[in-house]
């Protein structure tokens, strides 16, 4: 790079005096403290005018100054013009690229260095290893480090451990970790993150609990592990413990814990966390945190709080718009979701693939078939977004719910990508919903014959056979499930009372207030029958008598949770229930009537969406 392409500006007065006073040592010192590209250019111009650019120390500091200020192009130009650059020059350039996530350019520099016959140092290898995204290259560098007797260096060993951890090779990472005489906090965090990402949470927790001092990165890694792998209660408990420790939560911590709260669906815990953020000295209520709050409130059933947070965000990006569109979709306010799309386009924002997942879900939840088709087609034709498996899955769900099962089946058959389990489950569910048992059996037989059936599919297959009274086939499917080690996921409903979560399964007798809960349940069943409800015993897919079927329906987990909510919360307050599975139509009908009889709003979240029961009606319009 020549001085001609840089601003011909004299160094500022803090450079140490007049140009005549500028020496190589002084220039190197000034460059070491340089933090902006403009300042680097000024010093570069002064160095060239004084003829100091050929000094190797000055050239190296100048290369680093440009890299530190983000001008990697200038830094590389200088490296290319340096006569006989040493390993130190290359190492600095490799680190500058690798630390910014520019992995391929960083590895290309390592290759250039080796082709020059230069040997890497421990710093070279520790800067290069973070650029290794795969095991093959990482193992090659490990072997090279061993050959050079550098693998025992603490920096190299830590970089190697991090590389194996990123690649998911926990055994190799642990072997390196165990060989470290005094593991650095970075090594411990890498090992902890490896375990957490792989779901080896017990191993991660043992390592975590054994740390004498834990920084916020360690806490985040453990909280993230619990959140990723469906243990939100543990994540929330650990966060509360973190607040009692000396470690200060950061933005990442809060976003992770909000995700855990969203999984739990416990809005009171979410509001407590929102209040914590508002009063925190360490966490700013920026767009990222606000987006997590919108998502949390939507998933906890408090759409009004989500909307309030959304409207309070300045400079909204597409991510927060997507969160709000998905929020309206999951709450069944599909028209509002579609209006949001018009608004974000008016703001000049460009939709992403996530935007269209939200829009297609909104259409599916309200039976907006033509609108859904239009959005699906516009993805490619107007916005240049290639549909992914998730978008096809949304279309299959939309068509299947609307009764267009043959069209949905043909869409699956026409895919050039392999259909995923979600599509097949959607098809089977549509067959059962619209009583197209012939197609349901064809699909089920195909899945079983090709070894594609999972637990959800087996359950639907069993239900399809049971619905037409083919009990021998039901027994055969259940035997296949047992032989394959597949177990039906038990239905579980949760309710939060005074920031404590209570969980119920069907027929649950474990709660301390069981007698009171079942007394309320009997009262509920009597009241709904007085209002004309007839138990939908055909939903009990077992070969039982009517009385036994009716008793089985009466003790579904969501009904127990509502009964507990009625005896445990103040009259008139909203009852919020979260269930891990889809509600049955009998429970849906009962909850509608209970909302009318008790003048209570009941917000119910199942696996697919929210239902808001108010005065005998549901926001889903019975389309679900």
Q: What is the DSSP string of 106-159?
A: HHHHHHHHHHTTPPP-HHHHHHHGGG--SHHHHHHHHHHHHHTT-TTSHHHHHH
Supply angle C-alpha 142, 144, 146, rounded to 5. 70
The residue assigned the tokens 């039901």 is 474
Same domain? For 339 and 356 the reply is: yes
Paired sense of beta strands 575-579 and 602-605, if any: parallel
Average pLDDT, the chain: 88
Q: Tell me, yes or no, whether 551 and 445 share the same domain.
A: no
pLDDT at res. 386: 94
- Considering the domain architecture, whether residues 472 and 518 belong to the same structural domain is answered as no
In a domain, 300, yes or no: no
The CA distance from 567 to 172, in Å, is 55
**What DSSP string runs through 240-285?**
HHHHTSSPPP-HHHHHHHHHHHHHHT-HHHHHHHHHHHHH-SS---
Does 348 fall in a domain?
yes
In a domain, 344, yes or no: yes
Q: Evaluate whether 277 touches 250 at the Cβ level (below 8 Å).
A: no
Quick one: 604 and 528 in the same domain? yes
Kindly list the distances between the CA atom of residue 495 and the CA atoms of 190, 331, 409, in Å, as whole numbers in the listed order: 37, 18, 38
Q: Say if 559 falls within a structural domain.
A: yes
Q: What is the pLDDT of residue 451?
A: 75
Domains of the chain: total: 3
Do the domain assignments include residue 506? Answer: yes
Q: Which of 164, 188, 189 is nearest to 178 (CA)?
A: 188
The SS3 assignment for 540 reads coil
Indicate whether 498 and 571 sit together in one domain. Answer: yes
Contact 290, 320 (CB under 8 A): yes
Task: Flag residues of the chain having pLDDT under 50.
Answer: 1-20
Question: Around Cβ 288, how many Cβ atoms within 10 Å?
Answer: 16
Q: Give the model's pLDDT for residue 144.
A: 92
Cα–Cα separations (whole angstroms), residue 389 to 417, 423, 424, 447:
8, 9, 12, 18
pLDDT at 622: 86
Give residue 232's pLDDT. 93
48 within some domain: no
Q: Which long-range contacts (CB under 8 A, 24 or more apart) does 148-152 make?
A: 148/119, 148/120, 150/120, 150/121, 150/122, 150/125
Identify the domain boundary among 338, 368, 387.
387
Q: Does some domain include residue 155?
A: no
Nearest residue to 21 via CA among 10, 32, 5: 10
Give the pLDDT score at 541. 57
- Same domain for 450 and 367, yes or no, is no
Enter the pTM of the model: 0.79
Q: Which residue range(s) make up the domain with 419? A: 414-483
Contact 127, 97 (CB under 8 A): no
Output the pLDDT for position 540.
65
Residue 20: partners with Cβ closer than 8 Å, 6 or more residues away: none
Element (H, E) at 288: helix 287-299
Hey, what are 579's tokens? 């269930």
The Cα 504–Cα 495 span in angstroms is 9
* Residue 577 counted as domain residue: yes
């Amino acid at each position: 790079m020549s001085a001609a392409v840089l601003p011909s500006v004299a160094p500022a007065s803090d450079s140490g005096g007049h140009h005549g006073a500028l020496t190589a040592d002084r220039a190197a010192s000034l460059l070491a403290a340089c933090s902006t590209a403009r300042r680097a250019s000024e010093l570069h111009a002064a160095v060239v005018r004084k003829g100091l650019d050929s000094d190797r120390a000055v050239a190296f500091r100048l290369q680093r100054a440009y890299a530190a200020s983000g001008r990697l192009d200038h830094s590389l130009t200088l490296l290319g013009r340096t006569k006989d650059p040493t390993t130190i020059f290359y190492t600095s350039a490799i680190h500058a690229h690798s630390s910014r996530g520019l992995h391929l350019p960083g590895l290309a520099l390592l290759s250039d260095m080796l082709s020059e016959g230069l040997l890497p140092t421990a710093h070279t290898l520790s800067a290069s290893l973070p650029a290794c995204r795969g095991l093959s290259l990482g193992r090659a560098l490990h072997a090279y480090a061993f050959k050079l007797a550098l693998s025992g260096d603490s920096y190299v060993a830590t970089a190697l451990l991090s590389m194996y951890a990123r690649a998911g090779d926990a055994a190799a990472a642990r072997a390196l970790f165990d060989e470290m005489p005094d593991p650095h906090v970075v090594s411990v965090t890498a090992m902890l993150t490896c375990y957490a990402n792989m779901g080896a949470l017990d191993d991660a927790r043992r390592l975590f609990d054994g740390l004498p001092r834990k920084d916020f990165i360690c806490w985040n890694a453990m909280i993230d592990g619990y959140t990723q792998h469906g243990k939100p209660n543990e994540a929330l408990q650990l966060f509360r413990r973190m607040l009692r420790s000396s470690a200060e939560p950061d933005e990442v911590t809060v976003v992770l814990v909000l995700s855990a709260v969203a999984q739990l669906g416990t809005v009171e815990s979410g509001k407590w966390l929102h209040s914590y953020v508002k009063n925190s000295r360490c966490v700013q209520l920026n767009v990222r945190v606000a987006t997590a709050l919108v998502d949390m409130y939507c998933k906890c059933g408090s759409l009004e709080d989500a909307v309030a947070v959304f409207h309070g965000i300045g400079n909204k990006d597409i991510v927060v718009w997507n969160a709000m569109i998905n929020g309206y979709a999951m709450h069944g306010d599909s028209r509002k979701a579609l209006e949001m799309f018009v608004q974000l386009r008016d703001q000049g924002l460009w939709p992403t693939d996530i935007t269209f997942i939200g829009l297609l879900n909104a259409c599916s939840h309200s039976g907006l078939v033509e609108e859904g088709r239009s959005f699906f087609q516009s993805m490619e034709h107007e916005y240049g977004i290639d549909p992914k498996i998730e978008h096809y899955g949304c279309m299959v769900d939309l068509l299947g719910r609307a009764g267009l099962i043959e069209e949905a089946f043909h869409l699956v058959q026409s895919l050039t990508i392999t259909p995923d389990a979600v599509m097949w489950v959607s098809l089977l569910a549509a067959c059962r919903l619209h009583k197209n048992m012939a197609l349901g059996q064809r699909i089920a037989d195909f899945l079983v014959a090709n070894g594609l059936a999972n637990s959800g599919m087996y359950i639907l297959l069993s239900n399809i056979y049971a619905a037409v009274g083919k009990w021998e086939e039901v027994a055969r499917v259940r035997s296949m499930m047992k032989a394959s080690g597949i177990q039906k996921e038990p239905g579980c409903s949760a309710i939060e009372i005074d920031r404590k979560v209570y969980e119920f399964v069907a027929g649950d007798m474990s709660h301390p207030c069981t007698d009171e809960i079942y007394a309320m349940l009997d009262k509920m069943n009597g009241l709904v029958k007085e209002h004309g409800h007839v138990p939908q015993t055909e939903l009990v897919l077992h070969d039982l008598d009517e009385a036994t079927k009716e008793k089985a329906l009466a003790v579904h987990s969501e009904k127990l949770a509502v009964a507990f909510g009625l005896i445990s919360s103040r009259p008139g307050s909203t009852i919020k229930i979260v269930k891990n599975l889809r509600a049955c139509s009998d429970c849906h009908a009962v909850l509608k009537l209970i909302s009318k009889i008790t003048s209570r709003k009941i917000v119910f979240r199942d696996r697919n969406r929210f239902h808001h029961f108010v005065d005998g009606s549901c926001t889903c319009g019975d389309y679900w």
